[in-house]
Copies of this chain bind each other. A is one copy, B any other.
Amino acid sequence: MATLADVARHAGVSTATASRIINGSPKPVADALRTRVLAAVAELKYVPNAHAQMLARSHRSAVGVIVHDVSDPYFAEITRGLQRVATADGRLVIICNSFREPDRELEYIDLLHAHQVAAIVIAGSGYLDPATAARLDDRLRAFEATGGRIAVIGRHEHTGDAVLPDNEQGGYLAGSHLLELGHTEIAVLTGPTPLTTTFDRLKGLQRAARKFGARIPAARIHAADFTRDGGEAVAAQLLAEHPSVTAIAALNDSMAVGTLAALRATPDRRVAVIGFDDMPIARDVTPALTSVRLPLTELGERAMTLALGTAGDAPRVERVKVELIVRQSTWPR
């Protein structure tokens, strides 16, 4: 492994000069030396050691991203936005998958902290349990205390820079839509119950029901895991248990797609389905999915912009509007 010292020796200069030439420092250097050093770099195939660089110029440049799972299209879209902004700013982004496990999330926060990232962006639902939330917050604060910046997407329990989609309002829109179409026997497919996203969307749904003088009973609210297959399994069960249900609200599109699959397996049932997030796949399934749209890529872009911007005095919170996209999967009762 060639080092700066090797290059310098090879070119007959000091490491100081070599470093300056390689990094294009403003200090003027004779052309002859420059040529020799550059030649040495090429010949030795020298690649600077990033760790040594970070250590020497104690200045942070990478940024960290913690998501539940990048291979989930929901997070893939957010990540796309995150990366676009970070890359445009010339930064390396380190992506970590927490797989919705608070402990893993904790571990990654420390890992990113250890790697001296300039900022950490956390996307994905927070945890309802106060103890869990506090534990995470504590590590986040420790990171902030060293000058790191933090931005979160969709976790209102963290007080700091945040981009918050209005999940509650989304739930309300979804519920109102179904109720306005005349559906009264509505079932809900939720995500994991410890997540704030689940909680908020459900809350909006109930608010809509209340407006219509109704209430979705707990028996018709089934928890799944935000995945397509999980959604299909729970939807199948739900369909069997509740013959009178005429509409299902799935709290994300993956589960809505699973629900559509379950429905395909029970051709005798005609049930309206509404999803959440408006992922790209929504328009390609049949029937095309009615969904509450979250501007995922934009969410990512805005969060990264916050994270890379200069630290404000007060935490900046950007609320993001959601929008109902009506397609063919919902119809009047």
Interface residues of A (CB under 8 A from B): 1-2, 45, 47-55, 69-73, 76-77, 79-80, 83, 87, 92, 94-97, 110-111, 113-116, 142-143, 145-147, 228, 257, 260-261, 280-281, 283-286
Asked if A52 and B55 sit within 8 Å, CB to CB, the answer is yes
Contact partners of A97 in chain B: CB under 8 A: 83, 87
Contact partners of A70 in chain B: CB under 8 A: 70-71, 76, 79, 95
**What CA separation (Å) do A317 and B239 show in the bound complex?**
48
A80-B71, A142-B45 known; A50 vs B115 contact (CB < 8 Å): yes
User: A53 → chain B, closest Cβ, in Å?
Assistant: 8
Asked if A47 and B114 sit within 8 Å, CB to CB, the answer is yes
**What CA separation (Å) do A241 and B202 show in the bound complex?**
49
User: A206 → chain B, closest Cβ, in Å?
Assistant: 29
Closest to A84 in B: B97
Contact partners of A283 in chain B: CB under 8 A: 261
A73-B73, A80-B71 known; A49 vs B114 contact (CB < 8 Å): yes
Asked if B111 and A50 sit within 8 Å, CB to CB, the answer is yes
User: A134 → chain B, closest Cβ, in Å?
Assistant: 15
Contact partners of A55 in chain B: CB under 8 A: 49, 51-52, 55
Closest to A138 in B: B45
**What CA separation (Å) do A92 and B112 show in the bound complex?**
10
Could you say which of B52, B53, B71, B228 contacts A79, with CB atoms under 8 Å apart?
A: B71
Q: Among the interface residues A52, A55, A70, A284, which one has the most CB atoms of the partner chain B within 10 A?
A: A284
Closest to A50 in B: B114
List, sorted by A's number, 8 A–B pairs whose CB atoms are closer than 8 Å: A49-B55, A49-B114, A50-B51, A71-B77, A71-B80, A94-B94, A95-B95, A228-B280
Contact partners of A116 in chain B: CB under 8 A: 49-51
Contact partners of A260 in chain B: CB under 8 A: 284
**What CA separation (Å) do A145 and B261 show in the bound complex?**
51
Closest to A55 in B: B51
Asked if B147 and A1 sit within 8 Å, CB to CB, the answer is yes
Contact partners of A92 in chain B: CB under 8 A: 94, 96, 111, 115
**What CA separation (Å) do A51 and B261 show in the bound complex?**
49
